[in-house]
Every structure is written in C-alpha cells, then in structure tokens.
Amino acid sequence: MAFDIDELTKFATDAIREFSTEHKNEIFYAFAIDASLLCFNSVQCFEQTLREYQTKYPESYSNEKNIEELRMNTGDWEFQGFADFRECEGFDEELYDQHYNLGLDLEAGDLALKATEYAMAMDEVVKRLQTNGAFKSINCAKGFQTIWIDHNY
C-alpha cells in the first residue's frame, strides 16, 4: 500500500472541523502532524504549561530559546493526538515504520529522511490542509503554524 493523500487530507480536515466545535473559545498557535498523531496547542494551554514549567524548573525556562522549544514541542501540547492517522485507511504503517527506522540510523536533519515516502506524503498533506481551508473553523493566532515534525532519534 502507499499513503493515500486524498484520504489523509479528508480525515484530517474532518477531524479539525470536529475538534473546532469543542474548542470555540481557544486561540490556537500551531497544528502539527507528529508521526501519525494530529496535534494542536492553544495560546492558553501553552501559557499554563510555561507557568508550570517555570515554577518546577526555573533555570530551564528563563530564556527565549528554551521557551520557544517548549512552545513547539508537541509532546508538551495539550491536544497531542486529538486524532490519529492510524484510524484512517490512507495511512501506511509499514512506510511510516521504514521512515522511523531510517531515522534511527541517520542523524537528525539528514536529507534521506526528507525523501522518504512518509516525509513526502506528510509534506503534501500539510500543504493541502493549508490551501483547502481546513483551519477556517479554528480561532488561529497571528503567525499560526502548520507543520509536520520528525522525532529526534
């Protein structure tokens, strides 16, 4: 099988629309695809997480670089995995595993990782979501980002 870009885009668009009905009063600064997980984080949730982390680890979250890393770390996002591509017929688990395993052998940022079928499929899904109006139902902050991320192996 291969990734079905049309099916993945439809699945994500529908999941985003459903998610937006439950989160009308929040302002979101980013959407990400992380492996098979669809993720959002809101300005409000980030501010709460930052306050908690600054209380627990004041030395680690006192500079802009670390704060920005926290802001874009989907593992700390409130809505990591609000939907999962594994529930979609268009997601190819074997091709994702090949990408993941290649990442274990290569250094982060290696060009080979950007050329896998998984990477190219996620690039295309993100591009389509940006252009098809998938986020029109979401309250987006200025500078809203739509990305897919790769794990640090």
pLDDT of residue 150: 79
| Count of beta carbons in the 10 Å neighbourhood of residue 65 | 7
**Can you say whether residue 143 is alpha, beta or left, with left for phi > 0 and alpha for psi between -120 and 50 degrees?**
left
- Give me the count of residues in the chain: 153
pLDDT bin (cut points 50, 70, 90) of residue 107 is: low
Segment 87-101 mean pLDDT:
95
DSSP string, 23-87: -TT--EEEEEEETTEEEEEEHHHHHHHHHHHHHH-TTTSSSHHHHHHHHT-GGG-TEEEEEEGGG
pTM of the shown model: 0.93
Statement: residue 9 has pLDDT above 90: yes
Q: Which residue range is the domain that position 76 belongs to?
A: 5-149
DSSP string, 91-132: --HHHHHHHHHHHHHS-TT-HHHHTSHHHHHHHHHHHHHHHT
Strand order in the sheet with 28-34: 79-84, 37-42, 28-34, 140-149
Q: How many domains does the chain have?
A: 1
Statement: residue 108 has pLDDT above 70: no
Q: Which tops the pLDDT comparison, 1 or 67?
A: 67
Q: How far apart are CA 79 and CA 68, in angstroms?
A: 18
pLDDT bin (cut points 50, 70, 90) of residue 153 is: very low
pLDDT of residue 103: 83
